[in-house]
Amino acid sequence: MTAQDTTGQETVGQETVGQETVGGGTAGHGSAGQGSAGRANQKLRTRTAIVQAAAELSRTGREVTMPEIASAALVSEATAYRYFPDLASLLREAIAGQLPTAAEALEAVAGSDDPVERVAAATEFLLRHVLARQGVVRALIAATITRPAEAQARPGLRFGLIDQALAPLAGTADAADPGGTGRADGTARPAALTQLKRDLAVVISAEALFSLTDLHGLDPETAIASIGHTATTLTRAALRENP
């Protein structure tokens, strides 16, 4: 019965909010039947405004605070915290909302069946996306690394992208298999695919990018190129062993 419950979920996807269509009668009063459209819509608008403000600010590449987002969204800080348990959750959703689907991200190589080429494209895409939102991504990493329990909620774009890039390798439904431990396929392929995905999950990451730029002192372009090289090297090595 709390505000929290009504707005419900906070994970990816904000289409679940309204339990009844916006339509109904005019937002005014008097229309019988389902009258609570006004409040539900209001909450939806508030929530959307907050996420939008966070998304816009994230694109500056700077760090972003909750008061800043709230004031940009024309709500109070308290309200922002009513919709999101913490800054990290909000940033997560704001970032996830800006992500194209894995298929869209790999559109440029949609015609290619070469995993190496596709992995290179995925790496480039992910890292440039991260780079443009550095401040927020850094804050997200900082928040999740000290609270591993809640880290599961971090956007799985990385994994989706990798799956999508390696789709040509998976017979059919393998790419959609999250666990990825392979099945009754009988071949050694699934295990190798799983391992390759783990290899790439480590490499195609914001953490890898920041390691190279911050600790190793590389400039962003060089770092992206280096990680691209690492990712394709791993892919080629896996292909060599599993033709």
Q: How many residues does the chain have?
A: 243
- Which of 79-109 are b and which e, b meaning 16 or more Cβ less than 10 Å from the residue's Cβ? bbebbbeebbbbbbbbbbbbbeebeebbeeb
Q: Can you tell me the distance from the alpha carbon of 145 to that of 205, in angstroms, rounded to the nearest whole number?
A: 14
* Binding status of residue 243 toward a copy of itself by CB under 8 A: no
Out of 48, 71, 98, 211, the only residue in the binding site for a copy of itself (CB under 8 A) is: 211
Out of 12, 61, 72, 79, the only residue in the binding site for DNA (CB under 7 A) is: 79
Residue 38 binds which one of a copy of itself, DNA, none, with CB within 5 to 8 A depending on kind? Answer: DNA
Binding-residue pattern over the window 49 to 88 for a copy of itself, x denoting contact by CB under 8 A: --------------x-------------------------
Q: Can you tell me the distance from the alpha carbon of 243 to that of 233, in angstroms, rounded to the nearest whole number?
A: 15
Q: What is the DSSP string of 34-99?
A: S-THHHHHHHHHHHHHHHHHHHHHHTT-S---HHHHHHHTTS-HHHHHHH-SSHHHHHHHHHHHTP
**Three-class DSSP category at 28:** coil
* Binding status of residue 9 toward DNA by CB under 7 A: no
Q: Can you tell me the distance from the alpha carbon of 6 to that of 9, in angstroms, rounded to the nearest whole number?
A: 9
Contacts of 148 (CB under 8 A, 6+ apart): none
**Which one, 151 or 170, has the nearer CB to a copy of itself?**
151
* Binding status of residue 95 toward a copy of itself by CB under 8 A: no
Out of 8, 11, 13, 36, the only residue in the binding site for DNA (CB under 7 A) is: 36
Residue 141 binds which one of a copy of itself, DNA, none, with CB within 5 to 8 A depending on kind? Answer: a copy of itself
Q: Can you tell me the distance from the alpha carbon of 243 to that of 230, in angstroms, rounded to the nearest whole number?
A: 20
DSSP 33: S
**Which one, 101 or 222, has the nearer CB to a copy of itself?**
222
Q: Can you tell me the distance from the alpha carbon of 197 to that of 134, in angstroms, rounded to the nearest whole number?
A: 24
Residue 74 binds which one of a copy of itself, DNA, none, with CB within 5 to 8 A depending on kind? Answer: DNA
Residue 203 binds which one of DNA, a copy of itself, none, with CB within 5 to 8 A depending on kind? Answer: a copy of itself
Residue 233 binds which one of a copy of itself, DNA, none, with CB within 5 to 8 A depending on kind? Answer: a copy of itself
Out of 15, 78, 148, 215, the only residue in the binding site for DNA (CB under 7 A) is: 78
Residue 37 binds which one of a copy of itself, DNA, none, with CB within 5 to 8 A depending on kind? Answer: DNA
* Binding status of residue 142 toward DNA by CB under 7 A: no
Q: Can you tell me the distance from the alpha carbon of 170 to that of 149, in angstroms, rounded to the nearest whole number?
A: 31
Instruction: At 89, list the tokens.
Output: 């959750």
Site residues (vs DNA, CB under 7 A): 1-3, 6, 18-20, 22-23, 26-32, 35-40, 42-43, 45-46, 63, 65-67, 74-79, 81-83, 85-88, 139, 143
